[in-house]
Structure 1
Amino acid sequence: MLSARISNESGNESAELADEIERQLLRSLRQQNTQSRNETIVLKATSQDGRLLGGITASTSYGWLLVKILWVDETARGLGLGSDLLNAAETEGRRLGCHGAWLDTSNPEAYAYYLKRGYDTFGTLENGATEHPADHCRWFMKKAL
């Protein structure tokens, strides 16, 4: 039997380790399964003076674009920047051969936003009234590209 030590990483090391674990998983999957492109997409929006106003991170796998993070600074919300970032990521996903996009959110405002953008709910995780945090919901959504 293999003897292994399990430890908890924190700080910058944890982010680097998470990236390495994902790289190793994707390498293993490529050896075992028919793959499409596995690409990372990172897009940003900046002001004239270079201040970060928003960004989106996504990845591709098995013909799907996974939208991981879409963030817009509070000062730039409601101006269409989020839609511009999402459109750009979806366009890049199509260029890389994706036929669909998926994401998850637990923010009711974001959920409504994604519904307006053509995403449909395909699953939920819901907490009950006695579970912490009470009545929390996470929606899983997808869209054909």
Structure 2
Amino acid sequence: MAYVEISFVEEADSKAVTATIEDRLLQSLAEENEQSNNETFVLKATDETGKILGGLSASTSYDWLLIKLLWVDDKVRGAGLGRRLVELAEHEARRLGCNAAWLDTSNEAAHRFYLGLGYEDFGVLANPPNRRLSSHRRWFMKKDL
């Protein structure tokens, strides 16, 4: 192998480099694996002034919906906005041919929220006892659509 240099990427360039790596990985996967409808979509909820009160970012791959991000402003939390965003994302995923959805969260309240929407745990990452951040958990969750 010829000389190869490995270096950390400056923060200013990290988005562009990450996009290049992701594009090349997806191209490689597409050449090796049967593909489905791969889509990315974003939902936003706004008030009458246009202020964003919540939103969801998701993508589909191999007939699965991945909910990447869900956020609801504290001022409207508990009013059903998060549920509506997730349900709309699931509806769109079904339209795109998805069979199931998955996500991950490290927030206990969010974990309970997703359980209430029918998601179930399929994995948990936890730090060992007596180590820094020993109470931290990350739940990986899924739901049949």
TM over 0.5: yes
The alignment partner of 2:143 has SS state of strand
- Percent same amino acid among aligned pairs? 52
Structure 2 CA distance for aligned equivalents of residues 21 and 74 of structure 1: 35
Q: Normalising by structure 1, what TM-score?
A: 0.93
1:6-55: per-residue Cα shift (whole Å, max 9, x none)?
A: 23234442223222222221111111001111111111111111111111
1:39 aligns to what?
39
The alignment partner of 2:29 has SS state of helix
2:63 aligns to what?
63
Q: Normalising by structure 2, what TM-score?
A: 0.93
1:88 aligns to what?
88
Structure 2 CA distance for aligned equivalents of residues 44 and 108 of structure 1: 23
Structure 1 CA distance for aligned equivalents of residues 64 and 99 of structure 2: 6
Structure 2 unaligned spans of 5+ = none
For structure 1, which segment, 51-60 or 8-17, has the greater mean C-alpha deviation from structure 2 after superposition? 8-17
2:15 aligns to what?
15
1:136 aligns to what?
136
> CA 1:52–1:102 in 2, change beyond 3 Å: closer, same or farther?
same
1:52-89: per-residue Cα shift (whole Å, max 9, x none)?
A: 11111111111100111101111121111111111111
1:127 aligns to what?
127
Name the count of aligned residue pairs. 145
What's the offset of the Cα at 1:142?
0.3
Structure 1 unaligned spans of 5+ = none
Residue 112 in 1 paired to residue 91 in 2? no
